[in-house]
């Protein structure tokens, strides 16, 4: 079955066909490093990590580009509050973000690109937009994109340029704009703000949206395959990107497939720094294992919202433990595999992943497999299948799967004793194992062991 993805642009599931065979050029909006990243950010980056791992698993050669917005109003403000240099603040939180991603097993990004290292590309695009009549100068203020020159504005979000009026951020603010929704491409810097030499003012800095298109044009050209981000970026950010790139290149579509992740909610409300209801990744990892967090994210579809709650995290922890138990048990098992079951499981798994990366259904297939394998037996091939799935999900823990030889021997001796109806000896071995941190569970199919926590 061909891979299908839900495209925000067409609002439909479409067959995935990159422009050049198996090569995929993919861009995901990165962070603005002015604070620690929270678990809402982590949701989006983990879910894209799984999507990209699945594409690579399917033989796609993915170039995953992610920008770092290291110059922005929020960085300037925060740096002022803390009496730091904006660029130092940005570098510090970028480092912390990379640490968080590392803890979460997010390792699929091919290249990180900082805005401040692409000022030449940004200025070039601003100049093109200005030369082509899309950008206009407000003296002593900035260069703005004229929305009335780009009638297709709104095609991604289904919103109009009038709606953009309520979406302007501080940098886009000016009473002299032609249309209220016009957004800033380049801003004249105030004396105490970071500033780059430019042909228009006495030094300026980039607007919010322009870095993405300047960076993606540099690495991918004016058109590419996939652009993703969290849902709140659809408008005005991604809409502005389309306007900038299609206006400056004259080529359509700027991006073929637009993918957006749903929010992480707390009691029904989106988790956001501005709402003050956020939990940093760092704090969440003090309470939960990173694999549990990953499992929690992929237990929901990437486009769906997910509620962050202690109960759901606890549930994730228990579910994941069931998978780890199984892996531990089949790892060194000599039992025969059920080839039919393995084949069917793999087919079903791929079917759901090919259906717009339906991770909850793919996980359900894995849980059915585990249940059936306990009934029908499972060995080396079952273990290998779990490893194969985990190349995509990266949620399992194998280290604990190694039980040392002495303990394995004891388990065998106990089984022998049970067979010979020497229950006193069997019970004694069970007790000895328990003291060593191993519990045993006798099932119809044989004994299963588990490490005590
Ligand atoms: Zn972006």
Q: How far is the CA of 267 from the centre of ligand 1 (A)?
A: 27
Q: What is the Å distance from ligand 1's center to 182 Cα?
A: 17
- d(CA 377, CA 297) in angstroms, rounded, equals 30
Write down the pTM of the prediction: 0.88
CA of 269 to the centre of ligand 1 (A): 23
Per-residue model confidence (pLDDT) at position 45:
98
In the reported structure, the alpha carbon of residue 388 is separated from the centroid of ligand 1 by a whole-number distance in angstroms of 32
Confidence of residue 366 (pLDDT cuts 50, 70, 90): very high
Residue 434 pLDDT class (50, 70, 90 cuts): confident
312-321 burial, b if ≥16 CB within 10 A, otherwise e? Answer: ebeebbebbe
DSSP codes, 337-379? P-HHHHHHHHHHHHHHHHBT--HHHHHHHHHHHHHHHHHH---
Residue 27 three-state SS = strand
Distances (CA, A) of 450 to 18, 33, 103, 182, 322: 45, 42, 25, 61, 10
Strand 264-266 to 438-443 pairing = unpaired
Q: What pLDDT score was predicted for residue 433?
A: 87
Q: Which of 152-166, 300-314, 409-423, 428-442 has the lowest mean pLDDT?
A: 152-166
* CA 66–ligand 1 middle distance (angstroms): 9
Q: Could you report the per-residue pLDDT of 267-302, keeping only the tens digit for each?
A: 888 887 777 788 999 999 999 999 999 999 999 999
Determine the distance separating the centroid of ligand 1 and the alpha carbon of 114, expressed in angstroms: 12
Q: What is the pLDDT of residues 170-225, one digit of tens each?
A: 778 888 899 988 999 999 999 999 999 999 998 999 999 999 999 999 999 999 99
Output the CA 241–ligand 1 centroid distance in Å: 8
- Tell me, in angstroms, the distance from the centre of ligand 1 to residue 234's CA: 10
Q: For residue 190, how far is its CA from the centre of ligand 1 (angstroms)?
A: 24
Q: Look at residue 329 in the predicted model and tell me its pLDDT.
A: 84
Distance 212 CA to ligand 1 centre (A): 5
**How far away, in angstroms, is 29 Cα from ligand 1 center?**
4
Helix, strand, coil content of the chain in percent (nearest 5): 50, 20, 35
With bands split at pLDDT 50, 70 and 90, how would you rate the model's confidence at 37? Answer: very high
Backbone CA torsion sign across 318, 319, 322, 323? negative
pLDDT score at 277: 80
| Two structure tokens written together for 18 | 């990159």
* Structure confidence at residue 395 (pLDDT): 97
Mean pLDDT of the chain: 92
CA–centroid distance, 30 to ligand 1, in Å, is 6
Q: How far is the CA of 239 from the centre of ligand 1 (A)?
A: 11
CA of 287 to the centre of ligand 1 (A): 30
CA of 328 from ligand 1 middle (Å) equals 42
pLDDT in tens, 65-88: 999 999 999 999 999 999 999 999
Q: What is the pLDDT of residue 397?
A: 86
Q: How far is the CA of 76 from the centre of ligand 1 (A)?
A: 18
What would the mean pLDDT of 114-122 be, rounded to a whole number? 98
Mean pLDDT check: name the lowest of 3-12, 13-22, 299-308, 324-333.
324-333
Bigger pLDDT: 149 or 442?
A: 149
If you measure from the C-alpha of residue 27 to the centroid of ligand 1, how many angstroms do you get, rounded to a whole number? 9
CA of 209 from ligand 1 middle (Å) equals 6
pLDDT digits (tens, 9 = 90+) for 242-273: 999 999 999 999 999 999 999 999 888 888 77
| Tens digit of each residue's pLDDT (9 = 90 or more) over 288-338 | 999 999 999 999 999 999 999 999 999 999 999 999 989 988 887 888 889
Tell me, in angstroms, the distance from the centre of ligand 1 to residue 208's CA: 8
pLDDT exceeds 90 at position 405: no
């Amino acid at each position: 079955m061909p891979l299908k993805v839900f495209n925000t642009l067409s609002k439909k599931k479409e067959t995935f066909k990159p422009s050049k065979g198996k090569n995929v050029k993919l861009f995901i909006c990165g962070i603005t490093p002015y604070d620690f990243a929270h678990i809402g950010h982590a949701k989006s980056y983990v879910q894209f990590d799984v999507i990209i791992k699945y594409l690579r698993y399917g033989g796609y050669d993915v170039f995953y580009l992610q920008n770092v917005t290291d110059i922005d109003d929020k960085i300037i403000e925060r740096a002022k509050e803390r009496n730091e240099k904006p660029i130092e603040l940005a570098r510090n939180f970028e480092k912390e973000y990379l640490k968080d991603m590392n803890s979460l097993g997010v390792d699929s990004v091919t290249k990180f690109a900082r805005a401040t290292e692409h000022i030449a590309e940004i200025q070039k695009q601003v100049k093109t937009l200005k030369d082509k009549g899309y950008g206009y100068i407000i003296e002593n203020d900035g260069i703005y994109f004229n929305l009335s020159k780009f009638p297709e504005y709104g095609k991604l979000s289904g919103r109009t340029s009038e709606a953009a009026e309520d979406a302007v951020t501080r940098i886009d603010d000016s009473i002299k704009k032609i249309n209220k929704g016009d957004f800033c491409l380049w801003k004249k810097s105030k004396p105490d703000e970071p500033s780059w030499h430019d042909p228009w003012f006495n030094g300026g800095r980039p607007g919010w949206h322009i870095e993405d298109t300047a960076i993606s044009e540099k690495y991918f050209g004016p058109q590419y395959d996939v652009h993703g981000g969290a849902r709140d970026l659809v408008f005005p950010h991604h809409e502005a990107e389309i306007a900038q790139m299609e206006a400056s290149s004259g080529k359509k579509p700027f991006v073929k497939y637009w993918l957006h992740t749903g929010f992480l909610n707390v009691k029904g409300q989106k988790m956001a720094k501005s709402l003050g209801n956020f939990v940093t990744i760092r704090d969440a990892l003090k309470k939960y294992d990173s694999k549990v967090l990953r499992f929690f994210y992929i237990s929901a579809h990437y486009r769906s919202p997910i509620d962050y709650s202690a109960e759901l995290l606890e549930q994730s922890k228990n579910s994941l433990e069931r998978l780890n138990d199984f892996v531990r048990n089949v790892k060194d098992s000599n039992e025969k595999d059920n080839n039919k079951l393995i084949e069917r499981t793999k087919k079903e798994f791929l079917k759901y992943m090919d259906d717009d990366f339906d991770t909850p259904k793919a996980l359900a297939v894995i849980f059915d497999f585990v249940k059936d394998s306990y009934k029908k037996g499972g060995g080396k091939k079952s273990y290998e299948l779990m490893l194969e799935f985990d190349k995509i999900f990266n949620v399992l823990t194998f280290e604990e799967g190694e039980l040392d030889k002495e303990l394995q021997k004891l388990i065998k001796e106990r089984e022998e004793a049970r067979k010979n109806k020497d229950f006193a000896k069997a019970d004694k071995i069970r007790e000895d194992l328990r003291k060593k941190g191993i519990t045993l569970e006798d099932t119809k199919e044989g004994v299963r062991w588990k490490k005590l926590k």
